[in-house]
A and B are shown apart, each in its own frame.
Chain A
């Protein structure tokens, strides 16, 4: 996959400066990546105040743990995104989570009316074309389950309830879908 190497290099450098407590590098890093990370958090949590809290916590973590970033394991953006996604998943599974907002109050819904869906946008990114094509090859229902799980952090149970499907079927569709993706992406 054709990655944006110079951007990765720049972000890796900013992370290594951040590890040395360089506040200017950290602020630059924040300016560069916070819009993308905020979009991820907002998409998963669907509430701006929660997404702001999570974003703040994640940047505190990045400030304190930038030294743990290992270039050979993953791209800088992937590493930071994973911190955000994990925190969002924890957040969504808090035992006494307030009721989620309805779709009507969806803070990102209003951005999306005139925008193409994620699959179309994937198609537009060179490096993502392979993933988009492989997702398209999945059965429609399986694709829906995988995208809902990824973008909204839904559990097997949530998915079964939302789509009125038996839990066992949801589990095996998700599992099979992931393995089909793996097969498709490695060809």
Chain B
């Protein structure tokens, strides 16, 4: 087949991956790649060749709403619901329903199991206490270096106003703030940090929490007021 001359295929594959092959020619190339492994190989070869151009872009964490909506569309359960063991749910229910005293002591055995998880988190080093300009600390931040998780425990009253979320930022002198993610409204929230984010965290001196529109800052930089700040204690990481 004349069309399958390799130098022509190579050129088309290059322009396809670059994006300048358009319209019908683009569709035609896609069809050829489906039908002929050799054409597909040229295509993936160019994809690999040019992909470092993407790898070198500084990653930008998308707003939390992207995942939320995606999980909704695909019917994926919220992780809190899926992962909370029944005895923890029971403990919340007991508090809510006001059943105290005797019943609780009968159930202590089960509740202790619930606390085990917290105790493990308790062993992680506290790397920052976030406090408002005047007042006691409101959020305690712990870091699990191995899994790259930040655990945020609410120990004070600070809460985002209706229609807003809290977002956590790492601040380094002379650099733009780096978003570490939107903080869930639960008492215990956690954020996963990619390796490069962890490196950026190490180079930062301060953490800050700002109030942002639901789902986080639309621009990737803080847009709302800073509510809490805290010095990072680097000795513990």
- A interface residues, Cβ below 8 angstroms from B: 23-24, 26-27, 30-32, 34-36, 38-40, 42-43, 48, 51-52, 55-56, 59-60, 63, 73-75, 77-78, 81-82, 85, 89, 93, 107-108, 110-111, 113-115, 118, 121-122, 124-125, 127-128, 131-132, 146-147, 149-151, 153-156, 174-175, 178-179, 181-182, 185
Contact = CB atoms under 8 A, between A and B. Distances in A.
A111 B59 CA distance: 10
B76 A110 contact: no
Contacts of A122: 52-53, 56
A127 B176 CA distance: 27
Contacts of A115: 58
A179 B54 CA distance: 20
Interface residues on B, range: 35 or more
B60 A38 contact: yes
Interface of B: 10-11, 14-15, 17-20, 22, 40-41, 44, 47-63, 65-67, 69-71, 73-74, 76-77, 79, 175-176, 192, 194, 218-221
Nearest to B175: A114
A74 to B, nearest CB: 5
B20 A155 contact: yes
Given A38-B61, A121-B56, A150 B19 contact: yes
Nearest to A75: B48
Contacts of A42: 60
A30 B218 CA distance: 19
Given A38-B60, A78-B47, 17 more contacts: A36-B55, A74-B47, A74-B48, A75-B51, A89-B19, A107-B220, A110-B220, A111-B60, A111-B220, A118-B57, A125-B56, A149-B20, A150-B19, A154-B19, A155-B19, A174-B18, A178-B11
Contacts of A181: 14, 49
Nearest to B52: A128
A38 B64 CA distance: 12
